[in-house]
Amino acid sequence: MLAFGVFQNKALHAVDFAGLAPPHRLATEWPMHLQPYESVNGVPFTATRADVIRAHGQPRSELRNTVGLTALDYGDVVYRFQDSGRLEEVTARAELLHLGTVAVPFRDLAAFVQSADSKVFARAGFLVSPLYGIAFVPAEPGWVTALARHCVGEWRALQGV
């Protein structure tokens, strides 16, 4: 769960695949469009590894992390899957987080979740928001991890980190 890093910028491939269109990118903005626990930038949490590869092409790299998830790294977005194929997390560049009609710049994200989510908690340097299904490191600007619903309990259970 705690796979986090700095990734290089890479444009996503345009693909004609219903429901999995790559996110819109502007040169000066890295938005994340999040429907908590449902989808990230149009990619549903029901997407399989094959769906993501069909939508975005072959990843820049594919690695297994220390918690046993397989990470497909596309540079500006990383999809992490269980061995069963279930999508667990999506970490993406996110200078601006869109939550429905609300747009929150990353610089304001910590204050926003702390004021809006009474159940927010900290683990391993991350702020984790159960309300919005996200984890991020305020000191590492520009990256947000969207979580599958069951992952919040796993983050909460982390001890001593």
Say how many domains are in the chain.
1
C-beta of residue 106 within 8 angstroms of C-beta of residue 144: yes
For 92-120, write each residue's pLDDT tens digit: 999 999 998 899 999 999 999 999 999 99
Going by pLDDT thresholds of 50, 70 and 90, the confidence category of residue 6 is very low
- Does a structural domain hold residue 10? no
Domain that holds residue 57: 31-157
- Does a structural domain hold residue 81? yes
- Does a structural domain hold residue 19? no
Whether the pLDDT of residue 8 is over 80: the answer is: no
Contacts of 67 (CB under 8 A, 6+ apart): 1, 2, 3
Q: Which two tokens stand for residue 71?
A: 């990470």
32: which strand partners?
97
Going by pLDDT thresholds of 50, 70 and 90, the confidence category of residue 3 is very low
Pairing of strands 121-123, 126-129: antiparallel
Using CA atoms of 18, 71, 49, 32 in order, give the dihedral in degrees to the nearest 10: -20
Whether the pLDDT of residue 11 is over 80: the answer is: no
- Does a structural domain hold residue 21? no
